[in-house]
C-alpha cells in the first residue's frame, strides 16, 4: 500500500484549487426564472432541474407558442448536457388588452335570454351586468403568438432573451452547487485514504498472528504427528498470499487519486466518476472478504473496511447529482 501522505496532499491541493477557482463539475439540481414585460403583455419563464441519466427536457408553452418550441429546445441542448428539466413559459396580456368582451359569447347569451323571454312572456329587460358575469364573456384568453399585435418576431426575441438569461442563472446555481459537492467528496476521499492507511498497518501486524493461528490449527489436526517446518512455511505462505490485501489497497488508492483529479479539473465527468466508484466498491468488498480471522486486528480491519464502504456509498449519492 503506497504511503497515504502523498494522497492526502493531493486531495488537499484539489480542495485548495476548488476554493481558488470554480470546479469543472456542475450539479444537476437548480432553479432559475426570468421575466419580460411590455405595455400589453407579460412573459415569465421558469426552469427547474433535477438529476437524470440523460437530458430529459419537458416544455410547457401557452397555446399558440408552438412555432418557438424548436428554437427553445435547440438553445437548451446547447447549454445543458444532463438532467431532468421542466421549462414553463407563462404568457398573459396586460393593460387595456388584458380586459375584453367576447362578443360572440355575449351575443349567444342574449339570444338565449330573448328566446326565453318570448317563450315565457317575460317583460323584464336583460341585465347586462349579469351577462358580463357569465362564463367566457369577460376575459382575455391567451393569444396565439402570430396574433399578438407586437408581432411574432418581437415575442420570439423576448422568449429567447429570457431563456438565455434563465439558463445563465441556472448554470451559475449548478456550478455553485458543484463546488459544494466537490468539497464534500474531497472530505470523504481524505477519510478513505486515512482509513486505507490504517488497514495497511493492521494487515502488517496481523501476519504473525495469522501464522501462529495456522500453526496451532495444523498441530491440532495432526495431533502427535511431527510438523514439517518446511511444509508449515509453505502453507503459511499460501494462506498469507490469499489473505494479502496490499493489491486491493493499492488499487483503491489509485482510484482515489484518479477520482480526486477528475473532480478538481473535469467537466461532464459524472459517468466516469460513477465507474470509478464501482471499482472502489469492488476493491473494498474484496478487502473485507480477505480479512483474516476474528482476532483484534481482523475485527478492526473489518470495521475500517465497512467505514470505507460507507464513505464510498455517500460519495456515490453525491455523484448522482453531477452533470
Answer yes or no: do 163 and 51 share one domain.
yes
Answer yes or no: do 238 and 300 share one domain.
yes
Answer yes or no: do 248 and 215 share one domain.
yes
- pLDDT, position 86: 97
Answer yes or no: do 39 and 65 share one domain.
yes
174-185 pLDDT, tens digit each: 999 999 999 999
Nearest-angstrom CA–CA distance, 298 and 55: 46
Answer yes or no: do 270 and 229 share one domain.
yes
Query: Has residue 236 been placed in a domain?
Result: yes
Query: Has residue 20 been placed in a domain?
Result: no
Answer yes or no: do 296 and 238 share one domain.
yes
Split into its structural domains, the chain has a count of 3
Answer yes or no: do 54 and 154 share one domain.
yes
Lowest mean pLDDT among 13-22, 32-41, 91-100, 288-297: 13-22
Query: Has residue 10 been placed in a domain?
Result: no
Dihedral sign from CA coordinates of 263, 269, 270, 275 = negative
For residue 8, how many other CB atoms are within 10 A of its CB?
16
Is this prediction's pTM over 0.85?
A: no
Has residue 149 got a pLDDT over 50?
no
Has residue 150 got a pLDDT over 90?
no
Has residue 297 got a pLDDT over 90?
no
Nearest-angstrom CA–CA distance, 312 and 28: 20
What is the residue-averaged pLDDT of the chain?
A: 80
CATH number, domain of 154, equals 3.30.230
Answer yes or no: do 147 and 234 share one domain.
no
Range of the domain at 34: 27-98+141-174
Query: Has residue 253 been placed in a domain?
Result: yes
Average the pLDDT over 50-58 and give the result.
93
Amino acid at each position: 500500500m503506497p504511503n497515504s501522505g502523498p494522497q492526502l496532499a493531493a486531495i488537499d491541493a484539489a480542495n485548495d484549487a476548488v476554493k481558488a477557482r470554480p470546479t469543472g463539475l456542475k450539479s444537476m439540481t437548480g432553479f432559475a426564472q426570468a421575466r419580460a414585460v411590455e405595455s400589453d403583455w407579460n412573459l415569465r419563464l421558469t426552469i427547474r432541474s433535477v438529476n437524470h441519466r440523460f437530458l430529459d427536457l419537458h416544455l410547457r408553452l401557452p397555446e399558440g407558442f408552438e412555432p418557438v418550441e424548436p428554437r427553445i429546445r435547440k438553445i437548451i441542448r446547447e447549454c445543458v448536457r444532463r438532467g431532468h428539466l421542466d421549462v414553463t413559459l407563462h404568457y398573459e396580456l396586460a393593460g387595456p388588452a388584458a380586459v375584453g368582451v367576447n362578443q360572440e359569447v355575449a351575443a349567444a347569451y342574449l339570444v338565449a335570454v330573448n328566446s326565453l323571454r318570448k317563450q315565457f312572456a317575460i317583460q323584464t329587460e336583460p341585465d347586462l351586468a349579469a351577462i358580463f358575469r357569465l362564463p367566457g364573456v369577460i376575459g382575455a384568453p391567451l393569444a396565439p403568438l402570430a396574433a399578438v399585435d407586437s408581432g411574432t418576431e418581437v415575442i420570439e426575441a423576448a422568449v429567447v432573451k429570457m431563456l438565455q438569461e434563465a439558463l445563465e442563472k441556472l448554470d451559475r446555481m449548478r456550478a455553485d452547487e458543484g463546488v459544494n459537492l466537490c468539497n464534500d467528496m474531497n472530505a470523504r476521499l481524505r477519510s478513505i485514504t486515512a482509513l486505507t492507511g490504517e488497514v495497511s498497518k493492521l494487515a502488517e501486524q496481523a501476519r504473525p498472528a495469522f501464522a501462529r493461528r495456522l500453526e496451532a490449527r495444523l498441530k491440532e489436526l495432526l495431533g502427535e504427528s511431527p510438523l514439517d517446518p518446511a511444509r508449515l512455511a509453505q502453507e503459511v505462505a499460501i494462506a498469507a498470499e490469499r489473505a494479502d490485501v496490499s493489491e486491493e489497497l493499492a488499487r483503491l488508492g489509485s482510484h482515489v487519486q484518479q477520482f480526486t483529479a477528475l473532480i478538481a479539473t473535469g467537466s461532464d465527468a459524472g459517468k466516469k466518476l460513477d465507474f470509478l466508484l464501482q471499482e472502489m466498491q469492488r476493491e473494498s468488498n474484496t478487502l473485507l472478504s480477505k480479512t483474516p480471522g476474528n482476532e483484534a486486528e481482523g475485527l478492526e480491519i473489518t470495521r475500517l473496511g465497512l467505514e470505507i464502504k460507507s464513505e464510498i456509498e455517500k460519495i456515490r449519492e453525491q455523484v448522482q447529482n453531477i452533470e
